[in-house]
Structure 1
Amino acid sequence: MEISSSLLLVIVLAVLMLVMWWRKTSGLSLPPGPMALPLIGNLHLMDNSAPFKSFTKWSKTYGPVMTVYLGPQRTVVLVGYDTVKEALVDHADDFADRAPIPFQYKVLNGYGLFISNGERWRQLRRFTLTTLRDFGMGRKRMEQWIQEESRHFVKSFEDTKSEPVDPAFFVSRAVSNVICSLVFGQRFEYEDNNLLHLLQIISRVLRFVSSSRGQLYNVFPRLMDHLPGRHQAMFKEVEDIKNFVLGKISEHELNLDVQDPQDFIDCFLIKLKQEKDNLDTEFHKNNLWTTVANLFLAGTETTSTTLRYALMLLIKHPHIQEEMQKEIDRVIGQNRMPTMEDRKSLPFNDAVIHEVQRYLDIAPLNVPHYATHDITFRGYVIPKDTVILPMLHSVLRDEGQWETPWEFNPEHFLDANGNFKKNPAFLPFSAGKRVCVGESLARMELFLFIVSLLQKFSFSSPEGPDGIDPSPEVSGFGNMPRNYKLIASPR
């Protein structure tokens, strides 16, 4: 029996009314959002090359708290500084948990600091913060390590003899060595093939998870697991990082001195021994290698990406580069190594570095959060098992917080007298209980590395400022800058 189009329309309307009635009577009031289709959700409406652009556009219709469907996954997107701050800071306990992102979950199996929740996360975060601080994160000891690495960093650019080079691995080697000193207790020579191989893998993995194919895996992981493609190669490459970390752990076990721990791995191994009879402990090998891998990857790629982008923007805006150098010459000169104490006397440099982070917008969607229980927020209910995206892009580009949010403008961080001024919407490291554990380290690296480089070099492009394209090559999970070449000319 055929159903007429009129009858079919009546049935569809009746079902929609029934769903709306059920939501109302059950007390479930989801935030509004665009109409979703079965299975694919709102994917057909999204700009898959830059999802945050679609979310920003939709928020003008549905408001700062809205529901979208990434495939079958219900997702609540939070837009704007006030909304994100209210969630992550004012309701910190409700919004503290991480989403089980399929790609990361398959690699880490739920272990480690960055994607764990509950007691595992609390124990690992407390231990990690305490241990990193004990080894100098944010303190004088770490400043000295970064200063020493700066000498090698500067020397690597001197060796280019003003020839055009891709700065990617110049930068990532220096940044990686800082976190390696903390985690592994050693730095690596810049020509070390193992280090270069791992840095190449890290770069490829982050570009993959930010690509359309990477996003597709996270939406349909069960289907993608049975299909060939780039994701299968990525899982194999990640094994190299795992094996490297496990090898370092084995070396530490052989040489461990419980009275004199040298780095993060030593401290974790000592804690593991202390808790060996505790059946509920989170200090075991699975959490050790995954947390070390977390720190190695995050401590390498985010800061090195920011540094590469900083150099790109300074080439694009040579007058800003020149103004930074004049301030450095006036305060530090050409011979003395920069220190963190100099930052308060270099307000323009400090402002530019902050503006680089704001303008780069390295994690536009933020690392996804998760509702592990029903959350009531702004009159809505965010049901358990909902992915939550507190969009950092919407904070760093909030037109109510920044005078010219779409322009690269260091004046955002300077007052009328040229003094550095803070802005509460400067949240590149996120906020609340999941704020980046390496924030103080990253701030120190960015300041000391950039000032050290500008003290010794002027940077330009073989094609001139107009040859630099600061728009991201990939804008999924992260904004990834385009590859480019620069010339480091001694001053």
Structure 2
Amino acid sequence: MITLSNLRVFNQTSNRSGVGMIATILLCSLVICLVTFRCYRYLFDRPTNFPKGPPRLPLLGGYGIMLMINYKHLHKAATRLSEFYKSKLNGLHVGSYPTVLVNDFDTVKEVLNRREFDGRPDMYMVRIREKNFQRRGIFFIDGPDWKEQRRFMLRYLRDFGFGRRLEQLEVETEAEIRTMIDIIRDGSRYEHERGFCGPDGFVKCPEVFFVCFANVLLYVISGERIERAKAESVFE
């Protein structure tokens, strides 16, 4: 027989279960809202005045979108982004690093001529090249360190003719450029050139410049050059 006390106990138990279920639902809803908000912020949050661009994917950032658009030719992917967003400037994240893509000749020229764009990012991949994780060189640093190392480099390069017009060096540079043009126009002649020469005059960059740059630098330092037929050593 069901008594009044049993009904009261059952009613209290039901109320407690209902309150617990409501609290669980509210807590789960709150967690879902927070996670959704964080995901939205991660995907679409951008720095102030940042140009339009693709969302930020985990790990790769917007760079992953570019890889999905055109994995082999990122410059074509950048052009597609410029056409899609109808802007010469596009902003995306390369990993966690905010980056701006410039897709117009005049804008690129303006960027390269303005002093506020002369800086270099302080990235881990730059510091890992040195034993003490210091920023070295002249390509990946800026500020006082760059001025000091540039001064050091110019002082010793003058011993090799830097800053002076050498007729023989100009002749050597012209010969290397003509050789590179022949490779682009006529295609590969030797086995090592097939790795960067494609059909219809297509070549891979920067591989096509390797021998040209190496020979000019080698001539400045030692007065020698590598023959085209023996240039496979440059790619080893």
TM-score of the aligned structures, taking structure 2 as reference length: 0.54
Structure 1 counterpart of 2:215, from 177, 180, 190: 177
The residue aligned with 2:145 is: 120
Structure 2 distance, partners of 1:79, 1:148, is 34
The residue aligned with 2:51 is: 31
1:102–1:54 distance in 2 versus 1, CA, 3 Å: farther
Question: How far is 1:129 from its partner?
Answer: 4.7
Structure 2 counterpart of 1:49, from 66, 69, 72: 72
Q: Is 1:88 the counterpart of 2:112 in the alignment?
A: yes
Question: How far is 1:147 from its partner?
Answer: 3.5
The residue aligned with 2:235 is: 200
The residue aligned with 2:129 is: 107
**What secondary structure is seen at the aligned counterpart in 2 of 1:36?**
coil
Counterpart residue type for residue 215 of structure 2:
N
> Is the CA contact 1:69–1:75 (under 8 Å) kept in the aligned structure 2?
yes
1:188–1:52 distance in 2 versus 1, CA, 3 Å: closer
The residue aligned with 1:97 is: 119
Structure 1 distance, partners of 2:49, 2:211, is 50
**What secondary structure is seen at the aligned counterpart in 2 of 1:40?**
coil
Structure 2 counterpart of 1:65, from 89, 113, 117: 89
Q: Is 1:40 the counterpart of 2:57 in the alignment?
A: no
**What secondary structure is seen at the aligned counterpart in 1 of 2:144?**
helix
The total of aligned residue pairs comes to: 181
The residue aligned with 1:187 is: 224
1:35–1:2 distance in 2 versus 1, CA, 3 Å: farther
> Is the CA contact 1:105–1:115 (under 8 Å) kept in the aligned structure 2?
no
Structure 1 distance, partners of 2:117, 2:192, is 38
Structure 1 distance, partners of 2:159, 2:107, is 35
1:166–1:101 distance in 2 versus 1, CA, 3 Å: farther
Stretches of structure 1 lacking an aligned partner (at least 5 in a row): 155-163, 202-491
Structure 2 distance, partners of 1:122, 1:180, is 26
The residue aligned with 2:7 is: none
Structure 1 distance, partners of 2:211, 2:40, is 56
> Is the CA contact 1:32–1:62 (under 8 Å) kept in the aligned structure 2?
no
Structure 1 counterpart of 2:101, from 74, 77, 84: 77
Stretches of structure 2 lacking an aligned partner (at least 5 in a row): 1-23, 180-188, 194-206
Question: How far is 1:80 from its partner?
Answer: 0.9
**What secondary structure is seen at the aligned counterpart in 2 of 1:46?**
helix
> Is the CA contact 1:42–1:69 (under 8 Å) kept in the aligned structure 2?
yes
- 1:101-154, Cα deviation, whole Å (9 max, x unpaired): 65554335521121121112123334545654664447542x314536859x99
Structure 1 distance, partners of 2:101, 2:123, is 16
> Is the CA contact 1:33–1:62 (under 8 Å) kept in the aligned structure 2?
no
Runs ≥4 residues deviating over 6 A = none
**What secondary structure is seen at the aligned counterpart in 2 of 1:121?**
helix
Structure 2 distance, partners of 1:101, 1:190, is 38
The structure having more radius of gyration, on CA atoms, is 2
Structure 2 distance, partners of 1:34, 1:120, is 35
Structure 1 distance, partners of 2:124, 2:82, is 26
Structure 2 distance, partners of 1:188, 1:15, is 56
Structure 1 distance, partners of 2:156, 2:111, is 29
Question: How far is 1:187 from its partner?
Answer: 2.5
> Is the CA contact 2:61–2:94 (under 8 Å) kept in the aligned structure 1?
yes
Percent pairwise identity: 25
Counterpart residue type for residue 179 of structure 1:
L
Structure 1 distance, partners of 2:148, 2:34, is 55
Question: How far is 1:175 from its partner?
Answer: 4.6
Structure 2 distance, partners of 1:181, 1:121, is 26
Structure 2 distance, partners of 1:177, 1:54, is 33
1:125–1:71 distance in 2 versus 1, CA, 3 Å: same
Aligned pairs for 1:251-330 (under 5 A) are: none
Structure 2 distance, partners of 1:14, 1:144, is 63
**What is the Cα-based RMSD across aligned positions, in Å?**
4.7
Aligned pairs for 1:234-245 (under 5 A) are: none
Greater fraction helix: 2
